[in-house]
Amino acid sequence: MSEKTTLGNFFEDFRVGQSIAHATPRTITEGDVALYTALTASRFPITSADTFAHTLGFLRAPVSDMLAFNMVFGKTVPDISLNAVANLGYAAGRFGQPVYPGDTLTADSTVIGVKENSDRKTGIVYVRSRGINQRGQLALEYCRWVMVRKRDPASAAPEPVVPELPDAVATTDLLLPVGLRAEQYDCALAGSVDLWDDYQVGERIDHVDGMTIEESEHMMATRLYQNTARVHFNQHAEKTGRFGRRIIYGGHVISLARAISFNGLGNAFSIAAINGGRHVSPAFAGDTVYAWSEVLDKLSLPGRNDLGALRLRTIAAKDHRCTDFPYRLADGHYDPSVLLDFDYTVLMPKRLEGTPSP
């Protein structure tokens, strides 16, 4: 093999404290936004119309949070997860500065933990990754941990370091965009009358709609993010791989679940935090994705009477309508239909004093 090509890092290549500047900075454009809409059916009006975004104090329509997340994630793949066996989890994700078309994101990661597995063939790598805009401002950050193959099973195991990660991002750690204000929020244009006040902890919502994924769609999304993980693109290799076919990038499933959640969470206009997340099983072309959500918590935001936050669990399931809220079985395992278990915090306008509920 040429020394000029890369096969990515292996478990031995990671050291706690190591800082990695990822390649391929990315100017995000209106073209990316159009493709995101065409591939996910996203309908949140703040990312759909400049006029609506103005009423919330934004300069113009920012891009979808998950579009920005997937762009940053894509940049990390060549360095972090090209040799990953599994993407194990997310924590401590926060969205900061809004990302507008024309902004350029650059990504970096810091290794915050390593732990070899007992089989000595793989190990777990924990990283904190960030997306920074062209003005040096934090657009988003998140921790994730992945199981990565060792180059050489005989290589010495590093001192295990497992970082302490919070169950959820604390309300005081949320980064609200400067200038955001929800007093002018227009429920009619948003397509939903239900506001923060109307949701209850424990409430479960079947998001009704299902979306079938084609090969070209998940590949286009994943290439748009410049994510280079080979399992998504190469049928010639995957036909003899673990599943016999291409695996859909998990971030595309999150994007679909978020878009589908519009029906029932239409006013959850922004994701403020990713508390946790797990890709429970792989998705493949031909699968139809459904989703349901549970309200895990209602969070008041200090000093804000115009908006609050909801902590949500959104479950994506395949080929299974979510009227029965598929989740964990009696034995603790997930229902076989479950693709994604995603724990995140959204912002939602509050009912202004004196405004009647629907």
Q: Which is nearer to a copy of itself, 92 or 182 (CB)?
A: 182
Q: Which is nearer to a copy of itself, 51 or 167 (CB)?
A: 51
CB of 331 to a copy of itself, least distance (A): 26
Answer for which of 9, 12, 14, 39 binds a copy of itself (CB under 8 A) is 39
| Nearest C-alpha neighbor of 82 from the set 146, 157, 2 | 146
The answer to whether 235 contacts a copy of itself (rule: CB under 8 A) is: yes
Per-residue mark of binding to a copy of itself, 287-316 (x: CB under 8 A): -x-x--------------------------
Which 102-141 positions form the footprint of a copy of itself (CB under 8 A)? 102, 104, 106, 134
Give the C-alpha distances (Å, rounded to integers) separating 244 from 234, 248, 281, 351.
Answer: 11, 13, 15, 51
Answer for which of 15, 24, 184, 243 binds a copy of itself (CB under 8 A) is 24
The answer to whether 275 contacts a copy of itself (rule: CB under 8 A) is: no
The answer to whether 59 contacts a copy of itself (rule: CB under 8 A) is: no
CB of 217 to a copy of itself, least distance (A): 5
Piece of 29-37, 83-91, 170-178, 272-280 that binds a copy of itself (CB under 8 A): 29-37
Tell me which DSSP letter residue 334 carries.
Answer: B
| Nearest C-alpha neighbor of 133 from the set 164, 96, 161 | 96
Range 269-308 burial, b when 16+ CB lie within 10 A, else e:
bbbbbbbbbbbbebbbbebebbbbbbbbebbebeeeebbb
Angle at 281 between CA 278 and CA 285, to 5 degrees: 120
| Nearest C-alpha neighbor of 70 from the set 213, 214, 221, 196 | 221
Q: Which is nearer to a copy of itself, 95 or 233 (CB)?
A: 233
CB of 348 to a copy of itself, least distance (A): 12
| Nearest C-alpha neighbor of 26 from the set 95, 106, 131 | 106
CB of 31 to a copy of itself, least distance (A): 3
CB of 326 to a copy of itself, least distance (A): 14
Angle at 130 between CA 14 and CA 3, to 5 degrees: 40
